[in-house]
Amino acid sequence: MPVPYDPDHHHRRSIRLKGYDYSSAGAYFVTLCTFQRQCLFGQITDGTMQLNEFGQIVAEEWRHSSTIRQEIDFDQWVIMPNHLHGIVAINPVGAHNRVGANGRLPLQRTGHSQRVVPPMKPRSLSSFVAGFKSATTKRLNALRNAAGTPVWQRNYYEHIIRNEASLQRIRQYIQGNPATWQDDQLNPSNPSKF
């Protein structure tokens, strides 16, 4: 029999670098995976990603994100059948532009306990990812008439890009990702390494 969730005993461990300010200027390699790694966004044909209607919506929202969030720029990115890889640059924004918006309520109460969860830091990587996931989920679920159905995994992978050599390696990885889909660890046809 499964053990019921108890927030006082079961803690999700953060995969973020402890003490790092993810709103500081820099470049980040992010990977967002679909819920249960479902292939929702299209298929790979001859080493090229063919976006379906859902994939096109994800691409539209990705592009739109940099127009509505002046602190965000994108470098190389690719949408795969069940995930998205992208290089996200966070740029400094003047103090007069800091409105503090992050698309979330100021304080949230957790389900079982009455602990207060602090809000996400405005103009941070996590704030951007949360807003992007929310916008795409809303649009995809409206299209498929499936309100409340998860589209994305709860978390996301990120890597802080610290130098030009790392940036170049990640760009090459992203560009070549569709051609290596058959061997990709996120391809549901491949046995999980985890």
Question: Bigger pLDDT: 8 or 16?
Answer: 8
Q: Are 184 and 176 in contact, with CB atoms under 8 Å apart?
A: no
Domain limits, the chain: 26-93+102-180
- Counting beta carbons within 10 angstroms of the beta carbon of residue 53, is it exposed (0 to 12), middle (13 to 18) or buried (19 or more)? exposed
User: Structure pTM?
Assistant: 0.76
> Does residue 30 carry a pLDDT above 70?
yes
For 97-111, the pLDDT digits (tens) are: 443 334 333 334 445
User: Is the CATH code 3.30.70.1290 the one for domain 26-93+102-180?
Assistant: yes
Sign of CA dihedral 51, 171, 34, 25: negative
Residue found by looking up tokens 């998205």 in the block: 84
Phi, psi of 51 (to 5 degrees): -75, 135
Query: What does the pLDDT average to over 148-166?
Result: 94
For 158-191, the pLDDT digits (tens) are: 999 999 999 999 999 999 999 999 999 999 988 7
Those residues with Cβ within 8 angstroms of residue 37's Cβ, 6 or more apart along the chain or in another chain: 82, 83, 153, 186, 188
Query: What does the pLDDT average to over 103-120?
Result: 43
* 66-70, 94-98, 138-142, 161-165: segment of lowest average pLDDT: 94-98
Query: What does the pLDDT average to over 59-64?
Result: 97
